[in-house]
Amino acid sequence: MQKVTTITGTSAFLPIANIDTDMIIPKQYLKTIKRSGLGQHLFAEMRYDAQGNPKPDFILNQKPQASILLAGENFGCGSSREHAPWSLYDFGIRAVIAPDFADIFYNNSIKNGLLPIRLPMDAVQALSEQSQPITIDLAAQKVICGNMSFEFTIEPNHKNTLLNGMDAIAHVLQYKDDIRTFEQNYLNAHPWLVMKDGKNG
């Protein structure tokens, strides 16, 4: 997973509340377990007409280079499909700024290097009205655009995961020495768990 330190890019504003994961990536595209290739199906039912042609009035067709998505309340609600952050990331979105997120989507985003930022709706609206690029400084926990600056909160564990580009396995391996010590101490205290060949029973 790539490290997330600062993100600078253009934004796309999708001012819809309760965007669920089926809207983000419709169920017919969930057959793959690959993270690549899903970006073309992001918001498929909103981006394309019945013939598969891009709708010119949809924001991501107008701004296909956007790397920051500005959204409404309760973004990512619905099912727990991890394909939702996969599709956003594969499209090129590196951060989603919204008033709040569904918990599972939020956590899945962190695990996949996509930065979800909670800001009040009036701040999201103000950012959407700017023509300048937005810069997100994760270390400083700030969103900056022109002369505007908004601070955001993030759990230290999530921040550390993103700054260091660690997936769940890498995060656990930070503590491998502590894990080995615990296992050895536990087996020493419970010797009947060790088989005759020296392996755990």
- Which residue blocks in the chain are alpha helix, DSSP H? 21-24, 44-47, 59-62, 83-91, 103-111, 121-128, 156-163, 168-173, 176-189
Dihedral through CA 42, CA 46, CA 51, CA 54, nearest 10?
-70
pLDDT tens-digit series, residues 123-159: 999 999 999 999 999 999 999 999 999 999 999 999 9
Domains and CATH numbers, the chain: 6-166 (3.20.19.10), 167-201 (no CATH)
The pTM for the full model equals 0.86
Asked if pLDDT for residue 51 goes beyond 70, the answer is yes
Q: Which of 63-67, 108-112, 173-177 has the lowest mean pLDDT?
A: 173-177
